[in-house]
Each structure stands twice: as C-alpha cells, then as structure tokens.
Amino acid sequence: MTEARIHGYLVLAMFVLAVVSFIALLRVAAPYGRFLRPGWGPTLPARAGWILMESPAVILFIVVYALGTKAAAEAPMVLLALWQLHYINRTLVYPFRLRGTGNRMPLVIALMALLFNCLNAYINARWISHFGAYPDTWLSDPAFISGAVLFLCGWTINQQSDTILIRLRRPGDTGYRIPEGGLYRWVSCPNYLGEMLAWTGWAIATWSLAGLAFAVFTTANLLPRALANHSWYRQTFPDYPASRRALLPFLL
Ligand code: NDP
C-alpha cells in the first residue's frame, strides 16, 4: 500500500474517532480538571501531562514537515508558522502559566492525547509539506486569507479566554470562581469556542481533509465539554449569570 493511501486511511480514522469521541463524551465527561475523579488509574502532575501530551504537535510535526518534498516552499512554511504559533504556546508556555499547584491528571488521558497528537501531527504536517499542493500563489488565495484570518481570530479569543481563567487564581489556589470579561460576558467556554474557530480556520487555510478532520475532532471533543462545564457552573454557583450560554452567544 502506498503512503498516500495510508495517509488517506488515517485521515478517515480521525473522522471516525471524532464521531466515537463525541458520543462517548456526551455521556462521560473526560476525567481531568473539574471532572477529575478516582477510578482512572495512576495520575501525573497536570503541568507535566500537558507538556507530554502536546509535545508531538511541536516536535513530530516539525520532523514530518521537514521530511516533505515541499518543506522549503513559501506557502507550506507560512502554514507551519500558524500551526507552531498555537502549539509552541500550548506545549511550552501554557503549562507554566497554569495555577493550581498539585493539580493532577490521569496518565491514561495524557497517553490517549499523546497518541492523538502523533496521528494529528503526522496527517497535517505530511499534507502541508508533501502530499498537498501549495504554490506561492496560495498565499493570495481567498481560502488561505479567510482561513488564516479566522485562525488568528480564534487563536486570539482562545488566548484571551485562557488568560482570564488563569488570572482567577492566585498562585497556589485551586478553587473555582465565575469568570468575567472578554467573551465570558456571553458564554461559559470562550476558550473552547476560540479553539474551534482556530482549527476551522486551519481547515479552510489548508483546504484539506486532514485539516477538516482535526477541526471536526476538536468540535466533537470540546462541544460536549462546554455543555458539561456550563451545567457545572450553573449547579455550583447560584448567582451564575442566567443569560450566559455554553459555547455560542445567544444560541447554545
Ligand atoms: P478549562 O477551561 O477546563 O481549564 C483551563 C485552566 O483554567 C485550568 O487550569 C483550570 O483549572 C482553570 N480554570 C477553569 N475554570 C476555572 C474557574 N472557573 N476558576 C478558576 N480556574 C479555572 O480548559 P481545559 O483544561 O479543558 O483546556 C485548556 C486549553 O486546551 C483550552 O484552551 C482548550 O481550548 C484547549 N484544549 C483543546 C483541545 C482540542 O481538542 N483541540 C482539547 C482540550 C483542550 P483546573 O485544571 O483545576 O480545572
């Protein structure tokens, strides 16, 4: 079987994984953060977990990218820069900004995310620097421009919202408060909304099934989590703003 065909099957596998994850996560909230609970095996410090599970999205992505025949072309390099803008922050900056000393996550969650990130790094990096076709003119194509703008808007929303959450705690705090400001005026999980917009932008900017598979997976993963977080907020805080929605302002 050719590598191109294997790549195609792996992209298909990610769509299937998205459907399976969506159904499972609507029933059972992933056991990390506020939904951490016993019964999921050994745990590791949350900070180490984030670095471990996200690192393939930086390292493996760069390695696979560099092996591509079009790695030195301009448009793939711009796509690489967009990807790494997000993942260098997520892997090497975000974990050190987290507050909540002593927070842990199940090893099984970190390992599942690690495997997912290996798959995701391979299918996306291999596509942009090898199987995909991105001439220099791609950078002035409406698909690239609109996708890149959406990616950067989503990334900015995700950053701003994560920062608001992080600042709710003083160093060493572990408690939860009602987040205010930014898009929290309208929704409980603007960080997830930003993440979903960013990867939808990536799917458009790369105009690829690999990118689309990741955008669909991100939504399948984070939509159920946003619903669970939202109902947790409403149950936990009697004064939680009644007009605030879970994920989409005024809608959901
Ligand atoms: P959360 O919003 O659950 O938590 C983010 C951080 O803020 C955690 O340290 C959490 O602490 C803390 N926190 C959350 N709510 C409050 C609050 N009300 N008061 C005080 N502190 C709070 O996000 P996730 O951990 O699920 O995700 C983190 C980032 O990773 C997000 O930007 C998300 O978009 C991204 N992500 C992307 C995925 C994808 O599929 N692409 C999958 C999962 C995450 P604690 O850990 O103690 O709850």
CA distances from 169 to 12, 178, 227 (A): 41, 11, 23
Q: How far is the CA of 208 from the centre of ligand 1 (A)?
A: 28
> Could you tell me the sign of the dihedral formed by the alpha carbons of 205, 211, 212, 217, in that order?
negative
Residues with CB under 6 A from ligand 1: 33-34, 46, 98, 100, 103, 158, 162, 165-166, 168-169, 176-177, 179, 191-192, 195, 218, 221-222
Mean local confidence (pLDDT), 50-64:
98
Mean local confidence (pLDDT), 172-187:
94
Per-residue confidence band for 245, with pLDDT thresholds at 50, 70 and 90: very high
Can you tell me the distance from the alpha carbon of 50 to that of 96, in angstroms, rounded to the nearest whole number? 10
Choice from 191, 229, 230, 240 to test ligand 1 binding pocket (greatest atom count within 8 A of CB): 191
At residue 155's C-alpha, the angle toward residues 150 and 157, to 5°, is: 95
Per-residue confidence band for 101, with pLDDT thresholds at 50, 70 and 90: low
Can you tell me the distance from the alpha carbon of 197 to that of 57, in angstroms, rounded to the nearest whole number? 18
Q: How far is the CA of 141 from the centre of ligand 1 (A)?
A: 34
Can you tell me the distance from the alpha carbon of 181 to that of 211, in angstroms, rounded to the nearest whole number? 31
User: What six digits make up the tokens of 12?
Assistant: 């298909």
Read off the pTM: 0.97
Which of 96, 84, 90 is closest to 47 using CA atoms? 96
Q: What pLDDT is stored for residue 174 in this prediction?
A: 84
Indicate if the pLDDT at residue 100 is higher than 90.
Answer: no
- Dihedral class, residue 171 (left if φ above 0, else alpha if ψ from -120 to 50, else beta): beta
What tens digit of pLDDT does each residue of 209-227 get? 999 999 999 999 999 999 9
Mean local confidence (pLDDT), 7-12:
98
CA distances from 204 to 142, 149, 208, 232 (A): 10, 10, 7, 33
Per-residue confidence band for 149, with pLDDT thresholds at 50, 70 and 90: very high
Residue 89 amino acid letter? N
